Structure 1
Amino acid sequence: MQEQNTAIRDTTANPAPLGLMGFGITTVLLNLHNVGLFDIGSMILAMGIFYGGLSQVIVGIMEWKKGNTFGTLAFTSYGLFWLSLVGILVMPKLGIANPSSPTEMAFYLAMWGIFTLGMFFGTFKANRALQFVFGSLTLLFFLLAAGDITGSSQITTIAGVVGIICGSSAIYTGFAEVLNETYKKTVLPLFSVK
């Protein structure tokens, strides 16, 4: 009896653009708050729960199914970041937790900065667009932490500008992946690493 090997080809869609859009749009909206355009309200909280949070967790699970460890860790973690951030903001209002102090928030944000710096090193074999997303996100987390620990509204405003740039770069990367795949050519460059 002769053995046969069967190869199963993955024909499922690329989930990364959904995760990049969920992250990018939610990041831009939160950082419009950080630059002082508006207060945190239901719009930002809802985006944090659903598009920034839930959608990225789903994308992370989809990336796991595709065997992409980096995508699994990144999307699932940042989805849970958004959900935890909403919890930090909402739980005190519901009377089920005390508000976090600026020092606590600084440590929370700094830990996410350290995590993101590690993930940034994981982008070195990807493309420049993704490197920019993770590099600017690392800077954003550390600036937000610095703004909280010092109480400096100027640092928080600078962080907001960096956050708008970071979120916009994630949106660009998501659109580039979709358009390049749809048109089967480079419509928006991702700047491949050679």
Structure 2
Amino acid sequence: MEHIINVTEVQSAKAASNHRIEPSTQDKIGSPAISQFNQDYSRLSSNSPEPCLPPRQEPQPSPFEVRKFANPAPLGLCAFALTSFLSNCINLNVGGIQAAGVSVSLALNYGGIAQVLAGMWEMAIGNTFGATSFCSYGAYWITFSLISTFDTADATQAVADSVCQNETLMGLFMLAWFIFTTLMLVCTLRSSLAMFSLFFFLDMNYLLLGISHIQCSSHGETLIAVQKAGGVFGLLAAFSAWYNAFAGICDSSNGFFTVPLGHFPWSPAAHLHRAKAKEV
């Protein structure tokens, strides 16, 4: 009799150990309840009472989901505008200045590094055009500062032929940026008139400066008139960049008026304005 009881108890214990409570589909591994409370369901027998779990908590939102990014475009536009303004004043030979350490430092730090950072932030908010343009022109100003530094260091040792070769290479460098700016100009046709004007003036600036550098004589002289015309378009591009930057800064939070940018009739902003006018 005792043997039968012992066998029965052993069988009951085995059955109890084999019959485990499986977690429900909503409490599988990785769900908030399992990950937060880490209950071991394998040790609960069929005769055990239901575990008293605390109420299920929803996962807390990540701080990145509620964080708001500022508009990085005005920073990149101001960096481009100030650097372009000073550089084209040198192209126009204002005050007889040919090169200055201030312009080189400005091109490296403000026009270069600040624009690259603005491009990275544009990429973070999902603006492909802003990221491409700011990073590219930031790299242009960094390259320009390095070229100006090395040319100044080697100016005393250069002969006429090497100077002309450097001018021709600089002209090709400018024409390459003219091609890139033309591509960016096409992409502004659905934007605003102010942004289109900025890239148009910049495009003409690169074209004329490229022509002035590539038409080098045997004495290393450039076409001064074409260079000054390119400098004028460069100044117009700088003021256009400042205007676009001011339009991005002067919004409803810190301004008493809205800066008009102008929109093409086929742009999405113009379509939205006409749709609102019809509703009224």
Per the TM superposition, whether the score is higher than 0.5 is yes
Separation (CA, whole Å) in 2 of partners of 1:178 and 1:112? 28
Alignment of 1:24-173 (within 5 A): 24-37=81-94, 38-94=97-153, 101-150=166-215, 151-173=222-244
Show CA shifts across 1:54-76 (max 9, x none): 00000000001001110110000
Structure 2 gap ranges (5+)? 1-25, 27-57, 155-161, 216-221, 271-280
Q: TM-score, normalised by structure 2?
A: 0.63
Q: How many residues align?
A: 192
Q: Select the structure of larger CA radius of gyration.
A: 2
Structure 1 residues 182 and 34: CA distance shift in structure 2, 3 A: farther
Separation (CA, whole Å) in 2 of partners of 1:41 and 1:93? 10
Residue 36 of structure 1: CA displacement?
A: 0.6
Partner of residue 21 from structure 1, selected from 43, 64, 78: 78
Higher RCO (CA < 8 A, seq sep 6+): 1
Percent identity (aligned): 29
Contact 1:15–1:62 under 8 Å retained in 2: yes
Instruction: Give the residue type in structure 1 aligned to 2:235.
Output: I
- Output the aligned Cα RMSD: 2.4
Partner of residue 12 from structure 1, selected from 69, 75, 81: 69
Show CA shifts across 1:135-162 (max 9, x none): 1101100010011122210010111111
Residue 40 of structure 1: CA displacement?
A: 1.4
Separation (CA, whole Å) in 2 of partners of 1:69 and 1:17? 16
Contact 2:252–2:258 under 8 Å retained in 1: no
Structure 1 gap ranges (5+)? none
